[in-house]
Amino acid sequence: MQALIDTDPGIDDALALLYAWGSPGLTVAGITTVAGNVEVHDATVNLFRLLGLRRPQPEPPVAQGAAQPLARPLVTAKGYHGVDGLGDLPDWPAVHPSLPAIDAADFILDMTRHATEPLTLIALGPLTNVAHALTRGHETLHRLARVVVMGGAVDVPGNVTPTAEFNLHVDPEAAVRVLDSGLRLDLVPLDATRQAVVVRADLARTLARRPGPLATRIAAFTERGFRVDAERGTAGMILHDPLAVAVAIDPTLVQWESTRLTVGADGTTRRAAGPPNCRVARVVDVPRFLAAFLDRLCPAS
Residue 125 contacts Ca ion per CB under 5 A = yes
Choose between 13 and 103: whose C-beta lies nearer to ligand BDR.
13
In total, the chain counts a number of residues equal to 301
Choose between 94 and 235: whose C-beta lies nearer to ligand BDR.
235
| Cα first-last separation, the chain | 25
Residue 159 contacts ligand BDR per CB under 6 A = yes
Number of residues that bind ligand BDR (CB under 6 A): 15
Q: Which residues are catalytic?
A: 240
Residue 181 contacts ligand BDR per CB under 6 A = no
Which residue from 23, 112, 129, 167 is in contact with ligand BDR, where contact means CB under 6 A? Answer: 167
CB-based contact 256:146 (threshold 8 Å): no
User: Which residues lie below 8 Å from residue 204, measured CB to CB, with a gap of 6+?
Assistant: 219
Which residue from 13, 42, 106, 186 is in contact with Ca ion, where contact means CB under 5 A? Answer: 13
Q: What is the spatial distance between Cα 214 and Cα 237, in angstroms, rounded to a whole number?
A: 19
Which residue from 108, 119, 124, 284 is in contact with Ca ion, where contact means CB under 5 A? Answer: 124
Residue 191's binding partner among ligand BDR, Ca ion, none (Cβ under 5 to 8 angstroms by kind) is none
Can you tell me whether residue 233 is helix, strand or coil?
A: coil
DSSP E strands in the chain: the ranges are: 2-7, 27-33, 62-64, 120-123, 146-150, 185-188, 197-198, 237-238, 254-259, 261-263, 269-271, 278-284
Q: What is the spatial distance between Cα 36 and Cα 43, in angstroms, rounded to a whole number?
A: 8
- x/- mask, ligand BDR, residues 1-20, rule CB under 6 A, reads ---------x-xx-------
Q: What DSSP assignment string belongs to 158-184?
A: -SSSSSB-HHHHH-HHHHHHHHTS---
Minimal distance, residue 212 CB to Ca ion, in Å: 26
Q: What is the spatial distance between Cα 27 and Cα 4, in angstroms, rounded to a whole number?
A: 9
Residue 32's binding partner among ligand BDR, Ca ion, none (Cβ under 5 to 8 angstroms by kind) is none
Q: What is the spatial distance between Cα 178 and Cα 130, in angstroms, rounded to a whole number?
A: 7
Residue 165's binding partner among ligand BDR, Ca ion, none (Cβ under 5 to 8 angstroms by kind) is ligand BDR
Minimal distance, residue 14 CB to Ca ion, in Å: 9
* Spatial CA neighbour of 130 closest among 112, 118, 117, 114: 112
Minimal distance, residue 113 CB to Ca ion, in Å: 26
- x/- mask, ligand BDR, residues 47-86, rule CB under 6 A, reads ------------------------------x--x------
Phi, psi for 199 (deg, rounded to 5): -90, 150
Number of residues that bind Ca ion (CB under 5 A): 6
State the residues that interact with Ca ion by CB under 5 A.
8, 10, 13, 124-125, 241
- List residues near ligand BDR by CB under 6 A: 10, 12-13, 37, 77, 80, 124-125, 150, 159, 165-167, 240-241
